[in-house]
Amino acid sequence: MSGSEATAPSARWLAGFADSLQRQDIPAVLALFGDDSYWRDLVSFTWNIVTVEGYAGIRDMLAATLATVKPQGFAIEGTPRAANGIVEAWFTFETALGRGKGHVRLRDGKAWTVLTTLQELKGFEEKRGATRPLGTVHGAIRGRETWLDRKRTEEAELGYSRQPYCLIIGGGQGGIGLGARLKRLGVPTLIVDKNERPGDAWRKRYKSLCLHDPVWYDHMPYLPFPDHWPVYTPKDQMGDWLEAYTGLMELNYWPSTECREARFDAERGEWTVVVDRAGERVVLRPRQLVLATGMSGVPNMPGYPGADRFKGVQHHSSRHPGGEAFAGKRCVVVGSNNSAHDIAADLWEYGADVTMLQRSPTLVVRSESQQQHGRSLYSEEAVQSGITTDMADLTVASIPYRLVPQFQIPVCRKIQDADAAFYDSLRQAGFMLTFGEDESGLGPMYLRRGSGYYIDVGASALIADGRIKLKSGVSIERLTADSVVLSDGTTLAADLIVYATGYGSMNGWAAQLISPEVADKVGPCWGLGSGTNKDPGPWEGELRNMWKPTAQEALWFHGGNLAQSRHYSRYVALQLKARLEGLPTPVYRAPG
């Protein structure tokens, strides 16, 4: 079916959808959906991030939201397309409070998947293009206040004589990307970070670190990387970019600032947050608190018997500075995820004797194969064909999590076939491979469902030919003063032990900064309730507690990789802006 042939069924469906919604005729809406159908909403209908499944889920969501949302103004955007019996179309629409963008997949004329997203709030649009600020007042004015005067005044007042509406704890790519969204929306926001400069979280890592995802996947909100930027960004270059971004976006950013405690006053509707700003104790009173402390939670540091007797160096992978000091040393890397592989390779480059301890099977994908087969929306070819980063993000978001494995299994099979020799070389070295419990390959990483994951940028070849030694299928029994004793009785002499043993849930930061009670009230972050390894049920359909209201009033979690942080920062910012302006935000499926 050609694009023109796909337009007619798309237009018919959207016209019926719009008419039924405006009449609040829920049975008529349901008649437009197939038996196996999904509706994913990002804030526009639900003031939440929710996927509803089947007739009952769609009916209940519409019954709770239609009267206040008042959807209208639906229109096809672009040219619908069809392939393999599926018609896809983008559309725009309005609600009582905002403007949105949506996507539909039709099978046999009925909706299989629907995505609706809030893009902006009416009356509170970002100033851009024709509405951008002038920047000056022309003419001769005595006592003129310049841009720099205003900037210095704001920096001096915010957090002292004037409180931020929103406080973001964490100044990495997630925190500053969200800060940029909030700045554009006029939300008084302060970002605090313990590092001395923006980007230092990258600069302080081991020398060989670079982004494993390609440049097209890693843009920040509003400011894409220039077209000469390397495909895989080195960590120090990334640090410089984040520092420049913070300045260019005019963010209120306090470096060398550590949060000591936070508590919420429900009667006053505000937080009391005590921070140490370069030795100065400052009490902040924001209305909203965002934890943007990284993709994961507190590092998991195992407590093996004998650890206190070990005379060498031992630390978590998050604290590994690089391999320079370990030339000629005997190094054991515990774990087989991205960090474990990167650190093992880094140590080998500096002449260390490295052994990787692989405790469980690991999903490995060559970087080139992931880009070719799994990230085609984020590529130079996609850019040349007119696919913007926003369009790519929304396309990914249009696939309900329940269906992600279905979309990924063919991709995973294609990668396995193409890279059969690569995988055979790892197996022959004794490396334990997995492609996920559902054989979807990329799915477990995307959903954070527990499997170790490595995007290969070179370490796999070192393992395959024995330059990085491997002990697989064993665990640590105990440590001695100079060795690691394994469960099979093997002893590995060691001067350095790096624990690439992962992280806990992001609510671990809430336990540290606020209280264990609040962390328990909120519950774990990430995970879908898929019932797979490390992701117990029940099924949630969305990532727990991420980018949406939590059971603790005015507490938000923002994180993820660069693409997730970029895309979902829009919805966090719009939710916070709506609350600042006093707009009604009835949350469908409110937590707690």
481 plus 342 within the same structural domain = yes
The residue out of 476, 499, 522 marking a domain boundary is 499
494 plus 509 within the same structural domain = no
User: Residue 537 has what pLDDT?
Assistant: 87
177 plus 280 within the same structural domain = yes
460 plus 509 within the same structural domain = no
355's CB contacts (< 8 A; 6+ apart) are 330, 331, 332, 333, 468, 469, 470, 471, 492
From the list 158, 104, 407, the residue with the least C-alpha distance to 275 is 158
CATH of the domain at 246: 3.50.50.60
> Are the CB atoms for 280 and 256 separated by under 8 Å?
no
512 plus 494 within the same structural domain = no
Joined tokens for residue 131: 């509405």
Joined tokens for residue 384: 């040349």
> Are the CB atoms for 285 and 470 separated by under 8 Å?
no
Residue labelled with tokens 């005729």: 25
* Bridge partner list, 540: none
Query: Which 3 state secondary structure label does DSSP give 258?
Result: strand
User: Residue 4 has what pLDDT?
Assistant: 66
d(CA 78, CA 100): 15
From the list 93, 64, 96, 94, the residue with the least C-alpha distance to 587 is 64
Three-state SS for 289-324 is EEECCCCCCCECCCCCCCHHHCCCEEEEHHHCCCCH
* Stated length of the chain: 592
Instruction: Tell me whether residue 141 is in a domain.
Output: no
Joined tokens for residue 242: 């984040």
Residue labelled with tokens 């960090």: 339
> pTM surpassing 0.75?
yes
User: Residue 442 has what pLDDT?
Assistant: 52
534 plus 487 within the same structural domain = no
Instruction: Tell me whether residue 181 is in a domain.
Output: yes
d(CA 519, CA 549): 14
Q: Report the number of distinct structural domains present in the chain.
A: 3
From the list 336, 357, 330, 308, the residue with the least C-alpha distance to 488 is 357
Instruction: Tell me whether residue 286 is in a domain.
Output: yes
**pLDDT by residue, tens only, the chain of 592 residues:** 555 688 999 999 999 999 999 999 999 999 999 999 999 999 999 999 999 999 999 999 999 999 999 999 999 999 999 999 999 999 999 999 999 999 999 999 999 999 999 999 999 999 899 999 888 888 888 888 899 999 999 999 999 999 999 999 999 999 999 999 999 999 999 999 999 999 999 998 888 889 988 999 999 999 999 999 999 999 999 999 999 999 999 999 999 999 999 999 999 999 999 999 999 999 999 999 999 987 667 888 999 999 999 999 999 998 998 899 999 999 999 999 999 999 999 999 999 999 999 998 999 999 888 888 877 899 999 999 999 999 999 999 999 999 988 888 888 899 999 999 999 999 999 999 998 877 777 543 344 434 578 999 999 999 999 999 999 999 999 999 999 999 999 999 999 999 999 888 888 999 999 999 999 999 999 888 888 777 888 999 999 999 999 999 999 999 999 999 999 999 999 999 999 999 999 999 999 7
Q: What is the CA radius of gyration of the chain?
A: 25
Say what the alpha-carbon torsion angle 22, 28, 29, 32 is, to the nearest 10 degrees.
-130
d(CA 363, CA 351): 27
* Bridge partner list, 274: 261, 283
Instruction: Tell me whether residue 127 is in a domain.
Output: no
d(CA 263, CA 270): 9
Query: Which 3 state secondary structure label does DSSP give 56?
Result: helix
Give CA separation, 45 vs 99, 178, 371, 583, 586, in Å.
11, 22, 34, 14, 10
User: Residue 444 has what pLDDT?
Assistant: 39
497-526: burial string, b at 16+ Cβ within 10 Å, e else: bbbbbbbebbbbbbbbbbbeebbebbebbb
160 plus 292 within the same structural domain = yes
The residue out of 468, 499, 530 marking a domain boundary is 499
Instruction: Tell me whether residue 349 is in a domain.
Output: yes
Domain ranges, residue 209: 152-297+504-580
417 plus 473 within the same structural domain = yes
> Are the CB atoms for 99 and 92 separated by under 8 Å?
yes
239 plus 364 within the same structural domain = no
Joined tokens for residue 294: 């990284």
User: Residue 408 has what pLDDT?
Assistant: 86
Instruction: Tell me whether residue 285 is in a domain.
Output: yes
Three-state SS for 313-374 is EEEEHHHCCCCHHHCCCEEEEECCCHHHHHHHHHHHHCCCEEEEEECCCEEEEEHHHHHHHH
423 plus 372 within the same structural domain = yes
Q: Tell me: cis bond preceding 230? Omega within 30 of 0 counts.
A: no
Q: Helices then strands (H, E): number in the chain?
A: 18, 24
CATH of the domain at 28: 3.10.450.50
> Are the CB atoms for 384 and 361 separated by under 8 Å?
no
Instruction: Tell me whether residue 147 is in a domain.
Output: no
User: Residue 216 has what pLDDT?
Assistant: 95
525 plus 480 within the same structural domain = no
User: Residue 448 has what pLDDT?
Assistant: 44
Instruction: Tell me whether residue 245 is in a domain.
Output: yes
The residue out of 121, 144, 169 marking a domain boundary is 121
333 plus 440 within the same structural domain = yes
d(CA 548, CA 557): 7
